[in-house]
Amino acid sequence: MQPRSESFRVGTSGPRLHCLHWGAASGPLLVLLHGGGANAHWWDHVAPSFADRFHVVALDFRGHGDSERPDDLRPGAFGEDLAGLLAHLGPGPCVVVGHSMGAHVALEHATHALPRALVLVDPSRGSEKRRSRRLRLALSFRRSYATRDEAVERFRFLPDAAYASEALRRAIASHSVEQLADGRFGYEFESRWFGLAARERPDPSRIECPTLIVRGAESDVLSASGARDLCAELPNAR
């Protein structure tokens, strides 16, 4: 199932963002938020499974994928992107699914809005701070390659995804490469975002909607104890 592509503007003067749609627009809304350095196409292998029951929408945060890259880099901007998407799609309850960085954006959104439900996939919690800093540092480097094929071949998941198939890696890589102004090829995200200071964590006790925490069994981003602690802090989570 091929998604429908759309662009919209955040408010009257915000950046123009890109999103992908699967399923009928009349269905209940399921919003998918990618992680740092990723893009909406990371959900291509997941979204069709839900399109018979939901109107599935995957967002490219500003500075990622096919969304604009404003010069104004500030903490909290990705939350504005989510709010802008929901305003664009119109009123009504929605399920918000966030992966990694997207999970933190979803968490913060749910402290002042009331989604129908929340799904948090491997948010950073309980992992070594040194490892988190290393990941942010790796994302902050702007790598480039002589050809598109080389960029696709050199593409790797961060953190490493040992069990991901080569077909999946290549499919995501093919949607993650762009030609740069100097003619070389790099990855479709603005690396400067990962040099910003991390925001203060939102208060999970303010989130009232049903919440599902999903942890990879061998994840070193979300530790087992971190997942249990987060679950205990949320009023309605498992």
- Both tokens of 198, joined, read 């991390």
Q: Check residue 129 and give its pLDDT.
A: 66
Q: Check residue 198 and give its pLDDT.
A: 74
| Cα angle 139-144-147, degrees, rounded to a multiple of 5 | 140
Q: Check residue 106 and give its pLDDT.
A: 97
* HSE value, Cβ hemisphere, 13 Å, CA-based, for 50: 21
Going from the C-alpha of 238 to that of each of 3, 122, 225, the distances in angstroms are 31, 14, 13
94-99, strands of its sheet edge to edge: 4-9, 16-22, 55-60, 29-33, 94-99, 117-121, 211-214
Q: What is the pLDDT along the chain (238 residues), one digit of tens a residue?
A: 899 999 999 988 899 999 999 999 999 999 999 999 999 999 999 999 999 999 999 999 999 999 999 999 999 999 999 999 999 999 889 999 999 999 999 999 999 998 999 999 999 987 666 666 666 676 777 889 999 999 999 999 988 888 999 999 999 999 999 999 999 999 999 988 887 877 788 899 999 999 999 999 989 889 999 999 999 999 999 9
Q: Check residue 70 and give its pLDDT.
A: 95
Q: Check residue 162 and give its pLDDT.
A: 86
